[in-house]
Chains A and B, each alone.
Chain A
Amino acid sequence: MAAAPANDWHGVAAEGQDQITANMASFLRGRSKRLLLSVLRPHARAVAGSIATIFVYNLCALAGPWLVKLAIDSGIPPLVENGSMRKLVLFVGLYVVAAVTAGITDYEFTKLTGRIGQDVLFDLRSRVYDHFQKLSVGFHERYTSGRVISRLTSDIDAIGELLAYGLTTLSWSLMFLIGITVLMLLLDVPLALVALASLPFVLALTVWFRANSSRAYRATREAVTAVIVQFVETMGGMRAVQAFRREPRNQVIFTDLNDKYADANVWSSRLGAVYGPGVRMLGNATAAAVLIVGGSRVLDGEITVGVLAAFLLYLKQFFEPVQELSQFYSVFQSAAAALEKLSGVLDEQAVVAEPDSPTPLRSAKGDVRFDGVHFSYRDEVVVLPHVDLHIPAGQTVALVGRTGAGKTTIARLIGRFYDPTDGRVLLDDIDLRDLADEDLRRAVVTVTQEGFLFSGSVADNIELGRPGASRAEVEAAARAIGADVFIEALPKGYDTDVAKRGGRLSSGQRQLVAFARAFLADPRVLILDEATSSLDLPTERLVQEALRTLLADRTAVIIAHRLSTVEIADRVLVVDAGRIIADGAPADVLPGVRAG
């Protein structure tokens, strides 16, 4: 199965794997490289511009020692002999011009690469964020928010460092290296060959470093992710942490993860500690060799002292880029490990994907149909064996049944949080999978138990139901659902910041905001998944009153444990073990229900 890996390792599957095969490593590298190229491509012109700038910079920087040589060899003799400074001043003047030009181009280059880097980061952030949002709820349940955060913070930072520092170094170093090589060859070929003899050793050292450091940096990225995940989990659950004196145990876990991260960091730094100075030693040895060979050639009259001086100056500058390249390599390896993760996320297929050519549905009627729907979550346990169901437009349906009967799954399928494993769910006779997300979400809205609020004001959170709604509309929605009383009592009314995850609002209040949001969204199909469970009775009654009017002309699916909720339904479905075992008017199906 030589071709298998690509399939086994698609998406984020490689995360958390300690051992990867050579085959896999090259697959992952290729994927990372494609991602890097694709984010750089739109900036091709700017990149070309920056390379041109750095080229001029390098020319100027390289001209320096050459002009020094000229000044020494042909500027000083006339001065010593007849006091003529003309030539000397000319060379020094040129040297100054070169230096100033180098300064200006350096400025332009740094500015330009800074902008390119930030544009690329912006683009990467945008793509990864949006792709996470495209991925299914099922993916998010497995992947956890801590890892999402890790991808979009520490991995992006690592790539940012490559762009801000690495690419500058790379282009500068490579050009400088080539430039100096050419100049040394021009100055004196035999001496240049002596200098270049060190390159195979540098290369060998680089190969060793590359092999080891890619593993080290991979370990670093994994370790920092673990630190972030633990951190986010602790901060998110601080009430429970403190109430149960979990702090010491958490500290042990965190310290351990932090130590692992430290170990990985020390590992990669120490590889650098061998590589960088190793290259430097090779450089020093080369300088010694040049000194002896060059010295003999001066004695033989083959070259001048000026040439030897220029050579030694160049040699210093030759190994500086090599050093810098080793730094670049560290940054690059770190970024490559991050790119591997990000490209994995982007490679992850949205299981519940938007169609390529959606069937348009401008205004839905709200007719919902299950056609032979079979469903199981990842674990292969069949939740819904075979559901056929038709909910005509405008009908309010209550789903009742025990925990685990499959009610929520039915609701999730209508809201297309998951796709059926077999069969179809249709809205107005269109398969949900053929609908554009925008059309589907305009037509179908789900309110769940959790009442998640985003940072921002209460009004912002309600407005999420229909972006662009006026304040009057927001307030009307809150009024309709009976949330206005508590909102107006808040310190700043509708403008009150809901703080961290709505920490200040009680769960019932958050639920009311979620209802107001749904009211404002004004969908044709409304799904309430135990949405009233954290409300007290008077509030629930208020909400139900509002629901009676709200649901009058639209399709609704309500999951509830309480008879009072069932009473507002036109029809009750009793679900048991994934099958609908009873279907009819509330009073017929459930004895003891007053007619609604």
Chain B
Amino acid sequence: MHRFALWRVRSYVRPHVGRMVFMIVASLVATAAAAAVSLVTKAVIDGPLARGDRPGLLPLALLALGLGTFEGVLAFLRRYTLAKVAVGIETEMRNDLYEHLQALDVGFHDRWQTGQLLSRAVGDISVIRRFIGYGLTFLFINACTFVFVIFLLARMHFWLAMLTAVGFLPVIWLSKQFNKSYGSVSRLVQDQTGDLTTMVEEGAQGVRVIKAYGRRREMHQRFLRGAGTVRASSIEMARLRARFFGMLGQFPKLSQAAVLLGGAVAVADGSLTIGGLVAFLSLMVMLIWPVESLGEIIAMGEEASTAAERIFEVLDTAPAIAEIADPVPLPPGASSVRFENVSFAYPGSAANVLGGVDLEVRPGETLALVGATGSGKTTLLNLIPRLLDVTGGRITIDGLDVRDLSLAELRARVAVAFEEPNLFSASVRENVLLAGDHVGQSDLDEALEVAQAKFVHDLPWGLDTRVGEQGLSLSGGQRQRVALARAVVGRPGVLVLDDPLSALDVRTEERVHAELHRVLRDVTAIIAVHRPSTVALADRVAFLHEGRIAAVGTHRELLATNDEYAAVIGEVHEDVLDETVLADVAGEEVA
């Protein structure tokens, strides 16, 4: 099964076929040159040495030198080309994998841990590179060398050559045995390494929790268990290799012994000269490497096969959500958003998170989405820009099913801010203007104003300060505000906000509210809220309860008519620590 996976890598090899042919030819010629040196040796022993012809020595030695130099130059050319080919294939595969992963839907990424993906993108791809760049070439070269040398040997002494060739036959059987057991262990090691990478990832990202509970030892133990399984399987892998390589190495040597014995007899009966025997034996040395390296190449091939299998597992997963062939264009202007009997269940789970949601947001309207923890608000919002797809019913924008729109256009129209703001390792400017192909400095300024994110001007390099994983670390509230600015920049057609202000202090939240109010006048917006204060932004409120919209109306209406709604978001008054209270306290103390 997995051998086919490796065969599929050929599309990456194809652009390099010319170079690979060159490498193989160079190697074959080099091998021939090396073999020729052995023949020169024979000529020296049987010619000048046998005849006592001292002057005849020099030209032959110079010939050997010439051939040797030629071989070296060819080896250089081969390896110089190899670097380009092998690295080229690796780079292209990794780019493709990354591109495909970016195209795969969020549902896929929820199922797959980064560690497993990373071990494919780095570890597995370099295994394939090594096999293609080295193993594959040498497999071919070694096979040619083998046949060529046997041919030369046959010209020297037919029966001895046949003896040699037949002696190598068991190698084929041995390799088959090895293949079987080694393949499964190598897959095991690669999978376990992926799991271990995931543990490393969690250890780094969850370091605060681990510290908070003082669970360093437990996490270390857990990691060691993972590392222990990798160790055990790798040792098993080494054992299999050891056995195979050890046995493989016997063949050239034992056949040399046989040839020595048979060759001596041949010399005795005059069918071979002494020089011929020496040349024969020294040519046979050329067989040692191809046979011995066969073990390494087969092992590499097995590893590359399982690696390819693991990579194609990912590449073969079609994005559940993809750009369609002929999308319907979206009309310009403020959009309406409509949920029609929408249901959603996570893959592999029978339970519907959403079931039969009907909801309409009119152009320019702001709708607040209220629901208890885990009621499906975030899931519902993710459906609009098609981060997830509905499993039943449909969502339309201006009457058009979102699945009939161009994904790029849809996501350009719908701007999102998540509760957990994710900034990229780029400048603040780039982080805010992410989606904006057509937004200018004034839009940027406005967005920063709305999100109360002007603090960015005070960062060391202002708007050019690099933030995100590899940049300056901002506080949770600061990140949320940059993410909010990103969502509102350039006034998107549809604005989807998932509790975007949870980490802000009250005063900032109020200012953002005031600014947002202005922006929201002509933007269609859906905002998931936890707090009564944010509800005030909305024209209407939809109450999500047990996977469906239980009620729609103004905040006041719902409070009056729906007890469950009142339980989730009631008791508006004074729940938050008012800024004025804090200011009062501060003032008193100062005064």
Contacts and interface: CB of A to CB of B under 8 A. Distances in A.
B586 A574 contact: yes
Interface in B564-591: 567-571, 574-577, 579, 581-582, 584-586, 588-590
A126 B95 contact: no
B144 interface: no
* Among B62, B102, B418, residue most surrounded by chain A Cβ atoms (within 10 Å): B102
Contact of B76 (A102, A255, A266, A273): A273
Contact of A508 (B73, B228, B373, B574): B373
B61 A403 contact: no
Given A122-B227, A400-B582, A501 B205 contact: yes
B285 A278 contact: no
Given A241-B102, A244-B434, A266 B476 contact: no
Given A243-B387, A258-B95, A281-B68, A269 B83 contact: yes
Contacts of A132: 203-204, 207
A534 B65 contact: no
Interface in A480-513: 486, 491, 499-501, 503-509, 512
Interface residues of A, number: 180
Contacts of B91: 258-259, 261-262
Contacts of B87: 262, 265-266, 269
B20 to A, nearest CB: 15
Nearest to B49: A298
Contacts of B245: 106-107, 110
A272 interface: yes
20 contacts: A80-B267, A92-B260, A99-B250, A106-B246, A126-B223, A137-B208, A148-B204, A149-B197, A236-B422, A241-B102, A285-B68, A441-B212, A448-B208, A467-B215, A486-B373, A505-B374, A506-B374, A509-B374, A574-B585, A590-B581
Interface stretch (B390-398, B498-506, B514-522): B498-506
B425 A517 contact: no
B491 to A, nearest CB: 15
B586 A576 contact: yes
A475 B76 CA distance: 68
Given A104-B246, A122-B231, A561-B576, A277 B75 contact: yes
Interface in A556-596: 560-564, 566, 574, 576, 581-582, 589-592
Given A246-B424, A313-B285, A103 B249 contact: yes
Contacts of B212: 415, 417, 441, 445-448
A287 B68 contact: yes
Interface string B478-513: 000001001000000000000100111111100000
Query: What are the 4 closest A-B residue pairs judged by CB atoms, nearest first?
Result: A441-B214, A114-B238, A284-B68, A281-B72
B183 interface: no
Contacts of B588: 582
Nearest to A564: B575
Contacts of B267: 76, 79-80
Contacts of A250: 98, 102, 424
Interface in B215-230: 215-220, 223-224, 227-228, 230
Nearest to A295: B57
Interface residues of B, number: 181
Interface string A62-77: 0010001001100110
A153 B123 contact: yes
A330 to B, nearest CB: 11
**Residue in A262, A284, A402, A535 whose Cβ sees the most chain B Cβ within 10 Å:** A284
A561 B504 CA distance: 9
A268 B250 CA distance: 35
A88 B261 contact: yes
A240 B422 contact: yes
Interface stretch (A222-230, A387-395, A419-427): A222-230
B264 interface: yes
Contact of B282 (A224, A295, A309, A404): A309
A153 B68 contact: no
B438 interface: no
Interface stretch (B3-11, B146-154, B251-259, B327-335): B251-259
A103 B250 contact: yes
Main secondary structure of the interface of B (DSSP, over half): helix
A538 B530 contact: no
B79 A273 contact: yes
Contacts of B217: 438
A31 B123 CA distance: 27
A437 B214 contact: yes
Contact of B249 (A91, A102, A536): A102
B207 A266 contact: no
B567 A538 contact: yes
A574 B582 contact: yes
A534 B256 CA distance: 77
B420 interface: yes
B113 A500 contact: yes
Nearest to A316: B285
Contacts of A402: 505, 507, 579, 582
Interface in A236-266: 236-247, 249-251, 254-255, 258-259, 261-262, 265-266
Given A133-B216, A229-B470, A533 B502 contact: yes
B76 to A, nearest CB: 4
B408 interface: yes
A575 B203 CA distance: 33
Contact of B508 (A251, A278, A403, A521): A403
A210 B390 CA distance: 59
Interface string B530-552: 10000000000000000000000
A125 B238 contact: no
Contact of B109 (A235, A270, A309): A235
A574 B584 CA distance: 11
A96 B575 contact: no
Contacts of A401: 582
Interface in B229-287: 230-231, 234-235, 237-239, 241-243, 245-247, 249-250, 253-254, 256-257, 260-261, 264-265, 267-268, 274-275, 277-278, 281-282, 285
B112 interface: yes
B568 A537 contact: yes
B256 A64 contact: yes
A119 interface: yes
Which of A79, A235, A261 counts the most B-chain CB atoms under 10 A from its CB?
A: A235
Interface string A503-529: 111111100101001000100000000
B60 to A, nearest CB: 7
